[in-house]
Amino acid sequence: MISIVPLGLLAMSCATMTPLPGDEAARQRMLALLLPRRIEIVEPFTRVKSFDDDGTPDGIELLLQAVNSLDDPGLMVIGTLRVELYEYVPASGLPRGRRLEQWDVELVSDDQQRKYWNQLTQMYELRLGVDPKRIPSADRYVLLVTYDSPFGDRLTDEYMIQSRASTSEPRGGLSRKAASN
């Protein structure tokens, strides 16, 4: 048996679920629920690493997650990531010294998403190669990640990364910084 719904009732129910064609502000509010509000470097798993397992650090393994306005992590993002490695300046209000390395990672195609997105962890995993001859040997560096969305939003996160495990020394005075512009 076919049930017929009056058109007026159908139109009223649709009108309550979607914004009117000219209601741009409502569309922006709905879209903001899905877009990242911040990005976070996942500290316990982001580290200086030897990718060829010879004991000489030759890269950084970066795990990054995006978090929406409801504080739910595990979002995929579209846009560009810029990762920068800086010298660490101890006992300074500005711990970021000279920039040592920079990587630009595009996340705009299916292939790029598949390359960096880990379905199991719901995070982006980037293996960033570093030439050990170009980078001064140090115990600490500052890692800065900037995400630029195609909508003009810019999100950043920064933290100190240690090049080797240090059990006797705390992380120091560098506080985690997250910002959105």
Q: Between 116 and 54, whose confidence is greater?
A: 116
| Domain 34-180 -> CATH class | mainly beta
List pLDDT tens digits, range 3-18.
555 555 445 545 556 6
Could you state, in order of their start, the residue ranges of all structural domains in the chain?
Answer: 34-180
What is residue 171's predicted lDDT score, i.e. its pLDDT? Answer: 36
Q: What's the rounded mean pLDDT across residues 147-176?
A: 69
What is residue 29's predicted lDDT score, i.e. its pLDDT? Answer: 85
What is residue 128's predicted lDDT score, i.e. its pLDDT? Answer: 95
What is residue 112's predicted lDDT score, i.e. its pLDDT? Answer: 97
Residue 57 has pLDDT above 50, yes or no: yes
Tell which residue, 157, 158, 161, 156, has the closest CA to residue 172: 161
Residue 155 has pLDDT above 50, yes or no: yes
Residue 98 has pLDDT above 60, yes or no: yes
| Phi and psi torsions of 13, nearest 5° | -70, -35
